[in-house]
Amino acid sequence: MKSMIAAIEGMHCEGCAETIKALLSLEAGVEAVGVSYHEGRARVSYDPAAVDPAKLVAAIEKCGYKVRSTA
């Protein structure tokens, strides 16, 4: 299991955070997701054999948000 923290631009409310959480949760290999509107971040625990960080970033950006950085 690996984890990724993504700094996200474009969230305007808790509803945005919940949308991102729901979309990431749908990705195969994602074990846990936490998204904070106030911190502007998502923390994702995932199986690197099933999904890679680029796919997780694409899932976030697909719904109109911008990922500034990942760690």
pLDDT in tens, 28-46: 999 999 999 999 999 999 9
Spatial neighbors of 69 by CB under 8 A, at least 6 apart, are 6, 7
pTM over cut 0.85: yes
Distance, in Å, from the CA atom of 38 to the CA atom of 47, rounded to the nearest integer, reads: 27
pLDDT of residue 63: 87
Going by the DSSP 8-state scheme, the letter that residue 10 receives in this structure is -
